[in-house]
Amino acid sequence: MINVIVKMMIKQFQKHFTTSIKIADNSFLAVNWIQTFNEMINFQTGHNKISVPEDLVLENVTFKTSDNLNLVGIIYVANQNVKKWIITTHGYSSSKLPAFYHAYFLAELGYNILAFDFRNHGDSDGLITSFGFSEVNDLISASEFLISQYNAIEINYIGSSMGAFTINYLNATSFELLKNYNTKWIISDSSYNSAISVIENLILNRFSKINTTLLETIMNEIISVFKNDYNVDLFKLNFTNEYKNKSVPTLFIHAKDDAVVSFQDCVNMYEHKEKIDQLNINEIKLFEQAGHVRSQIVHYDEFVLCVKNFISKYNN
């Protein structure tokens, strides 16, 4: 019975999230959509600091993954003469559009920006969401696409939630690739430390009175289904277990009142990375109140200043 229920839960989790707005004529994002999204954010925040110019020129792009999926993204070229890029990644059930807004303020530093839909999200192909296990290949494919098609000489990363974990996981497991990409910095916003811990937290948030034995049974079944049905090993998706050698400097950002991912995950990742790196190259910024992936919205000026100050140490 538990197996049937868990499979139904995971099937619902794997629902393809289509939150797409196509780019008109492959060059301009529909002005009415930007206006609508600006108004929504302005209403939520009470300010217009995150807004994007309505006449912003964007390009729609598609690239292949190593397992032959088509991923769709949007590109903003802030400076044609600069080959420095930022890839911005979204969380579960989100899309390239919020991810682009998350990173747009960095364009004034001269970086070009790529935001894309992970597999099984937005306009991209795919049937499986895997908490970063397969998404890390999407991130590598996006990076290789920028090198082959835009001659990128430096690629840096900013991400939120699942997108942030995917970047951190790449940093932990593929530093040689990041050296090839000439990656100077990473911004990790509201990342979890391990897939298993965040799944358990989501269950506890939904069913607060669940007993320990039942929770353990459900978690074991979830791990088994992901392994046997989707070929995803959730045990591997653990940053502090996988991060064993010095890698790219990272700014970890989190809100203490995050109900989706505990801010302690952020603290643990930061402290573990500092212990391994032993170079004082990482930073952590904790906001008292903001919720999950809302620090930029609630504390815009402080968020932007913190990120820019961190990047300034490596933007040369």
What are the tens digits of pLDDT across the range 263-315? 999 999 999 999 999 888 999 999 999 999 999 999 999 999 999 999 999 98
For residue 9, being part of any structural domain is answered with yes
Q: What is the DSSP string of 85-146?
A: EEEEE--TT--HHHHHHHHGGGGGGT-EEEEEPPTTBTTS--S---TTTTHHHHHHHHHHHH
Amino acid at site 5: I
Q: Which CATH number goes with the domain that contains 135?
A: 3.40.50.1820
For residue 105, being part of any structural domain is answered with yes
Enter the DSSP assignment of 61: E
Q: Round to whole Å and give the CA distance between 86 and 158.
A: 7
| Parent domain of 145 | 2-23+61-312
- DSSP β-bridge partners for residue 62: 72
- The residue written with tokens 């908490």 in the block is 131
Residue pLDDT, tens place only, 4-17: 555 565 655 566 55
pLDDT at 171: 97
pLDDT at 42: 75
Is it the case that residue 241 has pLDDT exceeding 80? Answer: yes
For residue 37, being part of any structural domain is answered with no
Q: Round to whole Å and give the CA distance between 90 and 190.
A: 11
Residue pLDDT, tens place only, 149-158: 999 999 999 9
Total domains, the chain:
1
For residue 31, being part of any structural domain is answered with no
- Residues whose CB falls within 8 Å of the CB of residue 80, separated by 6 or more in sequence, listed in order: none
For residues 101 and 41, the answer to whether their CB atoms sit within 8 Å is yes
Q: What is the crossing angle of helices 162-173 and 135-150, to 10°?
A: 80
For residue 117, being part of any structural domain is answered with yes
**E-state strands within 193-257:** 250-255
For residue 28, being part of any structural domain is answered with no
Query: What does the buried/exposed string (b/e) look like for 108-120 if buried means 16 or more CB atoms within 10 Å of the residue's CB?
Result: ebebbbbbbbbbb
Amino acid at site 37: F
Q: What is the DSSP string of 240-258?
A: HHH--S----EEEEEETT-
